[in-house]
Amino acid sequence: MTRPHLLQLGPYPDWDEAPLNAAFAVHRYFDAPDTDAFLHEVGPSIQAIATRGELGAGRALIERCPRLEVISVYGVGYDGVDLDACRERGIRVTNTPDVLTGDVADLAVAMMLSVTRGVIAAETWARDGSWVSRGGYPLQRRAWGKRAGILGLGRIGRAVARRLAGFDMEIAYCNPAPKPDADGLQYVADPVALAERSDFLFVTLAASAATRHIVDQSVLRALGPEGVLINVSRAANIDEQALIAALEGGTLGGAALDVFEGEPRLDPRFLKLDNVLLQPHHASGTVETRKAMGQLMRDNLAAHFAGLPLPTPVL
């Protein structure tokens, strides 16, 4: 039986590459020295695209693949996939929800603790002799018992809230509409109002054109000089220029970020700031979760080509 032709947009761990290569005729876009020439050659044969959350698949690429039937995203976020282009041609889109929720929520909480207790700089203090030469580490800010805001009460936002309940925090959330089953969390209709009543503001919102820069200057101002922003969603949900200005000017207490505009390259101004924790977009990055993501990505592709219902369809 001939294997369907698949365009692979980025690398996967070896444990995913092997089964993908066994089931598909894989064309590695990211290895091509000249992607335009590569697409000219293989584009007409492509029936499936395997991509990752942060890589997506834009209209121009989709248009180069006239036989494309399905795009399978290794990641829960599909904001990088041009859904309109897919709808126009009846191209199916799948993602990997649920399997990564716990790990993303774990890292969000770790980031909160790390930034408010100065865990990274304290480690340097112990390691570089400062403890001996300068004495005890400067006092930090407490996490437990404070007020947390969850911007976006989806699967990941709920998992963050469940974890924070163990920190005896007052937790509120903001969503386009109140959730009927919000586990007793307080609903706040407006992001500025949520930031005003938060010490820690978690951004766990699925990104879309409608949420672009939802965390803007006014939200950052409301969070204030003692407030901390934690983003494990997408950089586009935050006005990064306003964020850097607020961190530089001290009008925002701190930030812990797993996602950046133009990642993996960071705005160099971030590197000069000591009130920001920088993480390399790895919230879903555990062996257990990445294995489950790879499996689900392949299960979706296999179901499509077997004519079966897709396990986790977006479109």
Contact set with ligand 8YV (CB under 6 A): 52-54, 74-77, 100, 281, 284
Nearest distance in Å: CB 231, ligand 8YV: 12
- Whole-angstrom CA distances from 67 to 60, 160, 192 are 14, 41, 46
Establish whether 304 is a catalytic residue: no
Catalytic residue among 28, 197, 212, 281, which?
Answer: 281
Question: What is the Cα–Cα distance from 118 to 64, expressed in whole angstroms?
Answer: 48
CB atoms within 10 A of CB 170: 15
Nearest distance in Å: CB 162, ligand 8YV: 19
Establish whether 281 is a catalytic residue: yes
Nearest distance in Å: CB 245, ligand 8YV: 26
Please report where in the chains the tokens 């407006």 appear, as a residue: 190
Catalytic residue among 63, 170, 261, 263, which?
Answer: 263
Nearer to ligand 8YV, 77 or 118 (CB): 77
Catalytic residue among 234, 290, 298, 304, which?
Answer: 234
The alpha helices in 24-170, defined as continuous H runs, are 35-42, 59-63, 83-89, 101-117, 119-127, 130-134, 155-165
Establish whether 298 is a catalytic residue: no
List all residues 6 or more positions away from 33 whose beta carbon is below 8 Å from its beta carbon: none
Nearer to ligand 8YV, 77 or 149 (CB): 77
Nearer to ligand 8YV, 13 or 138 (CB): 13
Nearer to ligand 8YV, 5 or 52 (CB): 52
Question: CB–CB of 205/229 below 8 Å?
Answer: no
Nearer to ligand 8YV, 53 or 157 (CB): 53
Nearest distance in Å: CB 7, ligand 8YV: 16
Question: CB–CB of 170/148 below 8 Å?
Answer: yes
- 113-131: string of b/e by CB count within 10 Å (b at 16+)? ebbbebeeebeebeeeeee
Nearest distance in Å: CB 12, ligand 8YV: 9
Active site residues: 234, 263, 281
